Amino acid sequence: MSEIKHSYVRSNGIELHVAEMGEGFPVVMCHGFPEMWYSWRHQMKALAEAGFRAIAPDQRGYGDSSCPQPIEAYTQRKLVGDIVGMLDALNLGKCVIVGHDWGGMVAWNAAMMAPDSVERVIGVNTPFIPRSPMKPTDAMRAMTAGGFHYILYFQTPGVAEAELERDVERSLRAFYQDPVNIDPAEVRKAPPGVFGQAGGGLLDRFSDRPYGKFLTEQDFQRFVQAFKKSGFRGGLNWYRCIDRNWEESLGQVDRVEQPALMITAELDVVLRPEMAEGMNKWVPNLRKTVLVKGSGHWTQQEKPAEVNAAIIEFLSDMKK
Enumerate helices (H) and strands (E) in the chain, giving the number of each. Answer: 13, 10
Residue 26 neighbours by CB under 8 Å, 6+ apart: 52, 53, 55, 87, 90, 92, 94, 95, 96
- Count the neighbouring beta carbons within 10 Å of the beta carbon of residue 208: 10
β-pairing verdict for 52-57 and 14-21: antiparallel
What single-letter amino acid sits at 152? L
Contact 174, 201 (CB under 8 A): no
Catalytic residue among 58, 64, 82, 101: 101
- Residue 143, phi then psi, degrees to nearest 5: -75, -35
Q: How far apart are CA 293 and CA 300, in angstroms?
A: 12
Asked if 297 is an active-site residue, the reply is yes
**Catalytic annotation, pick one of 17, 31, 100, 297:** 297
Q: Which residue in 11, 2, 4 sits closest to 91, CA to CA?
A: 11
Q: Tell the burial category of 218 from Cβ atoms under 10 Å away from its Cβ (0-12, 13-18, 19+).
A: exposed
- Helices 168-175 & 217-230 angle (0-180, nearest 10): 120
Render 180-221 in DSSP notation, one character per residue: P---HHHHTTS-TTEEEESSS-SGGGS--PPPPTTS-HHHHH
Catalytic-residue membership of 176: no
Distance CA 254, CA 275 (A): 16
8 flagged as catalytic = no
**Residue in 17, 100, 239, 268 annotated catalytic:** 239
Would you please indicate which residues are annotated as catalytic (active-site) residues?
Answer: 101, 239, 297
